[in-house]
Amino acid sequence: MAYIGLVKPTIAKLDESMEKPVYTDGFTCGKAVSLDLNPQYAEGSLYADDEKAEYDKEFKYADVTLNTSTMPIRAHNVMFGHTVENVGENGTSIKVRTTDSPNYVGFGIYVKEKVNNVKKFVAMWIYKVKFTEGQESFKTKGDNIEYQTPSIAGQAIGIADNLWKEIQIFSEEKDARDWIDEMAGIKKKPEQGGGDAGTGGGEETGSGKEESPGTDESGGAEIEKGENGGTGENESSGSVKDESSGQGDGNV
């Protein structure tokens, strides 16, 4: 296999108070520069009769290091627990306190894979990770342009059923993007067999039809048409604009 590229780093706040994990406040965390996943294991060996008789290795956690083109303003609240406030008409204040505690979040991203000249899109979702801010480095402008990009590090652990990562492989790039948005709660998950929506997708509407979530500039309500021809208001929640489109949150 050969991986090409790295696209759409997506973050959403994790809520484990319900039977299944629920993700809210999802957003695209800038544009991906690099990602390192390094699983850590506990291992042990039993020696008997002068030879290794048993060996076992169990997952403990995974170190996650993410480097992006920018860090959206909302990341400071959703990921790191800082206080974000509007100042005047166009300003933003980010207050960082010693008592701030990072939140557990879900993290998704996808890569392109080419095998035997066939392109696939490999999307992954890490169910529970806590990121912390890393070292900040700044340089004055010199003769040549040098970009300084933010890097954050964290640890991923398993959720209640010991699941820590899921991978899905798609033939179409749009399907990979949609799946990540569904996991993050940005987009509703398709209803399966009339039951409750799955992880991170929230509840479906009574008509059983999936509507692509859309919001106006103010994040207002969207109008959904039911099967009986009537209309009802469906509050849009968690919808954000892709950072890569150049719209949405400001960055710092």
Using one digit for the tens of pLDDT, what is the confidence trace for 96-138? 999 999 999 999 999 999 888 899 999 999 999 999 988 788 8
Q: pLDDT digits over 10-58, tens only?
A: 999 999 998 899 999 999 999 999 999 999 999 999 999 989 999 999 9
**Both structure tokens of 221:** 């309500």
Above 80 in pLDDT, residue 92?
yes
Domain locations in the chain as residue ranges: 2-245
Q: Is 116 left (phi over 0), alpha (psi -120 to 50) or beta?
A: left
Report how far residue 133's alpha carbon sits from residue 103's, in angstroms, rounded to the nearest whole number. Answer: 12
User: What rounded mean pLDDT belongs to the chain?
Assistant: 80
Length, in residues, of the chain: 252
CB 79 within 8 A of CB 39: no
Q: pLDDT digits over 125-182, tens only?
A: 999 999 998 878 888 888 888 888 889 999 999 998 899 999 999 999 999 999 999 9
Contacts of 94 (CB under 8 A, 6+ apart): 73, 76, 82, 83, 84, 252
Above 70 in pLDDT, residue 59?
yes
Q: pLDDT digits over 176-226, tens only?
A: 999 999 999 998 877 665 444 444 444 443 444 444 444 443 434 343 444
Q: What is the pTM of this model?
A: 0.71
